[in-house]
Structure 1
Amino acid sequence: MLYLGLISGTSADGIDAALARFDSEAAGKPELVFGRTYAWDTALRERLVALGQQSATLTLDEIAELDVRIGHAFAEAALRALADSGTPAAEVAAIGSHGQTLRHRPQGRPQDGLPQESRPQEGMVPYTLQLGDPNTIAERTGVRVVADFRRRDVAAGGHGAPLLPALHAALLSAPGEDRAVLNLGGIANFTLLPKQAAGDRGQVRGFDTGPANGLMDAWCLRHTGHGFDRDGAFAAAGRVDDALLARLLDEPWFALPPPKSTGRDQFHLGWVESRLGGHEAPQDVQATLLALSARSIADALRAAQPGTARVIACGGGVHNGALMQALARALPGCIVESSAAHGIDPDFVEAMGFAWLAHATVHGLPGNLPSVSGARGPRILGGVYAA
């Protein structure tokens, strides 16, 4: 009952691979057996980051070629994970591959002159697109692949995101307190676990809150040459620009009610630059972007579950000490801690989640939560690609 989960998030900072063991066919609590992050080829990563900008365009030939290139990168990560963990491919029931998100527009493509909504407006076509050809992964690894998890939920009227609240509920619910699981990837998202959710998945809610690491990573790369701000040192060298922060927080998306989701095509450097006055020091912008992440996350939690006693954080942002401290300051009276405090490696929760989703699909179990995504009902997610 071994499943391998693969994901590259909105920051495209690496391909996370997590090997998880399941003790039964029921979608219960998986055990993380092995986790590792494998670096992208530098040129391919730069291409992916550039494509996250709203203005980026591709020809059909470029999309088709990129799909296969990403598939090869994911296959290579899978093969390396199996080799590094000493696991024969024959012992893996399936690979759950999220792929690399190229566009995520569950509300449909924005149209000039129309206000943003959390649901598609008339004439809009909702869609989400992840690349990483699963046929290539199956062919190279010899393992069955489950992929394309998000589009079925979108087809059912949902946002296709977040997809992991059911796993968060299985792993981290507690009858004694209201909790929230916070994923700090390129984008931040919450899973809200009220006390009663420990026995009722219908009580679980979740939604994206906006930027986490994505904007900070992109700004840091542009001005320092480093792909991320180690422990928030670049931000700590600057001061928060309150006027800029107010302009950033004035973004209409923040006021949308859940269900809602977003991505790098909404929150990108062009979005930041459109709000700059032109005189800001780079380190001050970085400090302000960190404050934007902490403030938008805290505001969203207070609005959605004001009685939250504990925030359990996972994802790469857990390692940014300045961000974690800013979150703690923004949420007085609330414990803010890493999922490591609960015995769960924060770096591989998402990858383990796609192993969990593959396990659910293989056994004919729904993977989405309508209370989170807004879909019309539970759905079995993804397609299965035979080895």
Structure 2
Amino acid sequence: MVRIVGLISGTSVDGIDAAIVDISGKDLDIEVKLIAGQTYPYPAKLRERILEVCAGATISMVELAELDDAIAQSFAEAAMDIQKGHEPATLIGSHGQTVYHRAPVIQGIPNPTKTLGYSLQLGRGAVIANLTGITTVNNFRAADIALGGQGAPLVPRIDAALLSHPQESRCIQNIGGIGNVTYIPTKTGDWLEKIRAWDTGPGNSILDLAVTQLSQGIKTYDENGEWAATGTPCQALVEQWLTQEYFHLPPPKSTGRELFGVEYLEQCIRDAQPYQLSSADFLATLTELTAASIVSNYRSFLPQMPQRVLIGGGGGRNLYLKKRLQILLEPIPVMTTDEMGLNSDLKEAIAFAVLAYWRQHNTPGNLPSATGATDEIPLGEVHVAN
């Protein structure tokens, strides 16, 4: 058994999710026990700077280095704080903070050439290892990208290990800043090769930006979806937004704030002006887009609809969003991963602890059927504490 701290800050930039887990076993046959978990908000100015960079703000190399250092410091502090009162961990798996993600680009017809993707996560593993005194694994996306993959999503193999079922096909729908799905067929035959996963589109990112703007900074998110629940979605707008090219690209595919960020919200606001929507109606319409884009992805790209949908991430706490998903997916039951024994808020922090564990055991962490990589490979760079 190995005690590991998993760390991640997602595209919502809400803060650093930290989880202590005990892991034992090999490959997919692992046992994971959550010991403790907590979210550590970024200092306000640091969060603001991260969001600016994610939105495309110009930044000098000096400023980039300072931002990288500040994020690494915050991650190290979270790793040390979460261990207080517990037996210490011997390994850290840190995803870091994504500030830029570019999917692979295919150019040229009829002789296509593929340009490798690129993904930048700040919060250097070497600094975290030095500050905590604990060996740290980070930069998990690079190896998959080097093999032609999207570098995302990286959770499908963990979903397969922890949430597969011998008689039931499932979609594991994470709703963070961006939504991503893992489709897991029934656990029989060559089931692992049939797993599919991709980013479905916006999750909470557009909603959070809209709430911040509509409330003039008083709120940063719609708690439980209560504000949106008082409005009425504009279906004509939802249908218009669903014509966006990304929703119709076949998997494997990945996206981020580069597409579904500030500029996208500004376009949504312009599109909504002729309808003279209230703030609640606008939020309800954006929420409907998240739900409808998820369902549209399922119907367009899954080999068959799942028998159950399990939600993870912050979107699982948005009761209005969950209700809309349930209505659109009837009669398929929509639940949270909590109901299956896996903490939905800490699911991704747990995932990067597992990826660090697999890296130490030289076990592949990616699924080529999900990312488009040419092969399986262990993920992450190892930084030994001095």
**With structure 1 as the length reference, what TM-score do the two structures score?**
0.92
Q: Which residue number corresponds to residue 65 of structure 2? A: 64
State the Cα distance separating 1:356 from its structure 2 match.
0.1
Q: Deviations over 1:355-378 (max 9, x none)?
A: 000000011111000011000000
Residue 228 of structure 2 is aligned to residue 235 of structure 1: yes
State the Cα distance separating 1:50 from its structure 2 match.
2.2
Q: Which residue number corresponds to residue 33 of structure 2? A: 31
Asked if the contact 1:173–1:197 (Cα under 8 Å) also holds between the matched residues in 2, the reply is: no
Tell me how far apart the structure 2 counterparts of residues 13 and 246 of structure 1 sit (CA, whole Å): 29
State the Cα distance separating 1:243 from its structure 2 match.
2.9
SS in 2 for 1:16: strand
5 Å-filtered alignment, 1:6-45, equals: 6-27=7-28, 28-45=30-47
Asked if the contact 1:101–1:131 (Cα under 8 Å) also holds between the matched residues in 2, the reply is: yes
Cα 1:369/1:172, change in 2 over 3 Å: same
Tell me how far apart the structure 1 counterparts of residues 316 and 22 of structure 2 sit (CA, whole Å): 25
Q: 1:207 aligns with which of 198, 202, 205?
A: 198
State the Cα distance separating 1:301 from its structure 2 match.
1.4
Asked if the contact 1:165–1:369 (Cα under 8 Å) also holds between the matched residues in 2, the reply is: yes
Q: Which residue number corresponds to residue 350 of structure 1? A: 348
Unaligned runs of 5+ in 1: none
Q: Which residue number corresponds to residue 107 of structure 1? A: 104
Per mean C-alpha deviation after superposition, the further-off stretch among 129-138 and 141-150 is 129-138
Per mean C-alpha deviation after superposition, the further-off stretch among 317-326 and 278-287 is 278-287
State the Cα distance separating 1:177 from its structure 2 match.
1.6
Q: 1:137 aligns with which of 128, 132, 140?
A: 128
Cα 1:299/1:196, change in 2 over 3 Å: same
Runs of 4+ displaced beyond 6 Å: none
State the Cα distance separating 1:125 from its structure 2 match.
5.0
Q: Deviations over 1:21-75 (max 9, x none)?
A: 112354513111111111111111111122222x422111111111111000100
Q: Which amino acid aligns with 2:236?
A: A
Tell me how far apart the structure 2 counterparts of residues 43 and 355 of structure 1 sit (CA, whole Å): 28
Q: Which amino acid aligns with 1:210?
A: G
Unaligned runs of 5+ in 2: none
Tell me how far apart the structure 1 counterparts of residues 235 and 311 of structure 2 sit (CA, whole Å): 26
Per mean C-alpha deviation after superposition, the further-off stretch among 350-359 and 32-41 is 32-41
Q: Which residue number corresponds to residue 154 of structure 2? A: 163
Tell me how far apart the structure 2 counterparts of residues 58 and 198 of structure 1 sit (CA, whole Å): 50
Asked if the contact 1:196–1:203 (Cα under 8 Å) also holds between the matched residues in 2, the reply is: no
Tell me how far apart the structure 2 counterparts of residues 268 and 313 of structure 1 sit (CA, whole Å): 22
Q: Which residue number corresponds to residue 290 of structure 1? A: 287
Q: 1:127 aligns with which of 115, 118, 143?
A: 118
Asked if the contact 2:19–2:349 (Cα under 8 Å) also holds between the matched residues in 1, the reply is: yes
Q: Which residue number corresponds to residue 302 of structure 1? A: 299
Q: 1:324 aligns with which of 314, 322, 337?
A: 322
State the Cα distance separating 1:294 from its structure 2 match.
0.3
Cα 1:124/1:363, change in 2 over 3 Å: closer
**With structure 2 as the length reference, what TM-score do the two structures score?**
0.92
Amino-acid identity (%): 40
Asked if the contact 1:96–1:146 (Cα under 8 Å) also holds between the matched residues in 2, the reply is: yes
Asked if the contact 1:220–1:234 (Cα under 8 Å) also holds between the matched residues in 2, the reply is: no
Question: How many aligned positions are there?
Answer: 375
Q: Which residue number corresponds to residue 265 of structure 2? A: 272
Tell me how far apart the structure 1 counterparts of residues 58 and 184 of structure 2 sit (CA, whole Å): 39
Residue 97 of structure 2 is aligned to residue 96 of structure 1: no
State the Cα distance separating 1:190 from its structure 2 match.
0.7
Q: Which residue number corresponds to residue 86 of structure 2? A: 86
Q: Which residue number corresponds to residue 251 of structure 1? A: 244
Q: Which amino acid aligns with 2:178?
A: I
Q: Which residue number corresponds to residue 309 of structure 2? A: 311
SS in 2 for 1:233: helix
Q: Deviations over 1:170-191 (max 9, x none)?
A: 1111111211111111111111
Q: Which amino acid aligns with 2:51?
A: V
SS in 2 for 1:254: helix
Tell me how far apart the structure 2 counterparts of residues 191 and 26 of structure 1 sit (CA, whole Å): 18
RMSD of aligned residue pairs (Cα, Å): 2.1
Tell me how far apart the structure 2 counterparts of residues 259 and 25 of structure 1 sit (CA, whole Å): 27
Per mean C-alpha deviation after superposition, the further-off stretch among 178-187 and 267-276 is 267-276
